[in-house]
Structure 1
Amino acid sequence: MKVVKLFKQRADSVKHQSELMQWMSPTIREYWTGFVDKTNHSNFLAWVRDYHKPAVNEPHVVQVEPEIVLKPAAQELFDDLQDKIGTVIHQGNWIHVGQERINQFGSITEDNQWIHTDPERAEQESPFKTTIAHGFLTLSLLPALTDSVDPDKPLFPTAKMMVNIGLNQARFPYPVKVGSNLRAKSTLVKVTPIKKGLEIEREIRVEIEGIRRPACVATSVIHLHF
């Protein structure tokens, strides 16, 4: 009601509208006349009152997701992993990154920039004084670095199948110079039950032998099916 009273007070306060309107331009005069008419119109006032009425609290319907019932093997792994969240659950072996591997990756991906594939030019012009591996080459090595493709070293042996869902984040803090050795450490971040099993999030940190900064830090998301 405060807005309605304000409109009325403004309209009533103009006692000498004829004098005021003489100073107005035709466009302003027309607008002012229409405004005053609307403030005195009952339908307009009713609209203002309805507009400023407090909304009626309607019941909020919360949709409850059906509880996921895990298979015994999945439940057992889920319970076991709860105590490992925030800890390193895997550290792989060193993998050598030579020029041949870099050249092969460049050929397959059609990324043959000289900083990767031309050692002579890189020695003369690159600030690293040698060739460096593609960032995506390091990323593509994650399955091998985490033993995800080694049937003799399954990280989750009770799971029937592991599916790569993707990465939530990936960064390349430091370049991998040719001849470097890489290994990965996986830290468990989160475990979530899903319909067919478990969703696992891991922070994978790819180390360069002898270098303090990592070559890659990525959050991996996988699904385990049981």
Structure 2
Amino acid sequence: MKVVKLFKQSADSIKHQSELMQWMSPAIREYWSEFVDKTHNRNFLAWVRDYHKPAVNEPHVSDLTPEIVLKPEAQRLYLELQSKVGTVIHEGDWLTVGQERIDQFGAVTEDNQWIHTDPERATTESPFKTTIAHGFLTLSLLPALTDSVDPDKPMFPTAKMMVNIGLNQVRFPYPVKAGSNLRAKSTLVKVTPIKKGLEIEREIRVEIEGIRRPACVATSVIHLHF
């Protein structure tokens, strides 16, 4: 940029600022003048930093967070699970997903697309040459596949109650053909103390017997109460 042009732009800027200040109240004009002076000062960034710095006696968020005290049985499980993060902590039994189960799920959810519930049409028109299970049917089977609802072999027997909080991510990499056998493997991702116990994050991979790719991969979050 030429020097003459640079001076011209600076002069225009000063002119606009002067006109603007004429419309300001005395208090605003004084504040604006101080602000402009500081922006031209090399210590401007330091001034902004000091302006937003919290007071010396102002408590931090971490100071306001009460310490979580776990019950002895929760503390023992927490220490045990900490050493298992990143490992498979459960592998379920095979479960068959037949046409009857698929039809029942379609009736309950009102999802009766022919790719799920019409074996004759699926044989001729579907690229899979048979019906396939709903993705949400596979997802709904996670409690059974992970033994979360089996009182005879609970995953966390010392917990009084397990509550499903939700799922962080869900994918259905491969379709489940009618008659397939499924099982789930659970890998511990994270364990966190909470007010009433522990929060557990697991990556659950639903395997299809004889197929390399999984039917479902989901990150499950549950709370254990003690």
Normalised-by-shorter TM-score class? 0.7 to 0.9
Q: Does 1:153 find its partner at 2:153?
A: yes
Correspondence for 1:10? 11
Correspondence for 1:84? 84
1:55-106 CA distance string (max 9 Å, x none): 3234364122110000000000000000000000000000001100100110
Looking at CA atoms only, which structure, 1 or 2, has the larger radius of gyration?
Answer: 1
Q: Does 1:102 find its partner at 2:86?
A: no
1:32-77 CA distance string (max 9 Å, x none): 7x76544689957634333344332343641221100000000000
SS at match of 2:190: strand
Give the direction of change, closer, same or farther, for the CA distance of 1:35–1:77 in structure 2 (3 Å limit): closer
SS at match of 1:155: coil
Correspondence for 1:62? 60
SS at match of 1:69: coil
Q: TM-score scaled to structure 2, two decimals?
A: 0.82
How far apart in 2 are the matches of 1:125 and 1:184? 30
Correspondence for 1:19? none
How far apart in 2 are the matches of 1:75 and 1:50? 57
SS at match of 1:182: strand
Correspondence for 2:180? 180
Query: May I ask how many residue pairs the two structures share in their alignment?
Result: 202
How far apart in 2 are the matches of 1:97 and 1:62? 53
Gaps of 5+ in 2: 1-6, 39-46
Gaps of 5+ in 1: 1-5, 14-31
Deviation at 1:115, TM superposition (A): 0.3
Deviation at 1:124, TM superposition (A): 1.0
Aligned pairs (5 A) from 1:1-226: 10=11, 36-38=18-20, 46-52=30-36, 53=38, 54-55=47-48, 56=51, 57-59=53-55, 61-63=59-61, 64=63, 65-226=65-226
Give the direction of change, closer, same or farther, for the CA distance of 1:41–1:157 in structure 2 (3 Å limit): closer
Alignment-mate amino acid for residue 213 of structure 2: R
Alignment-mate amino acid for residue 114 of structure 2: W
How far apart in 1 are the matches of 2:68 and 2:17? 61
How far apart in 2 are the matches of 1:133 and 1:46? 72
Alignment-mate amino acid for residue 184 of structure 1: A
The share of aligned pairs that are identical, in percent, is: 71
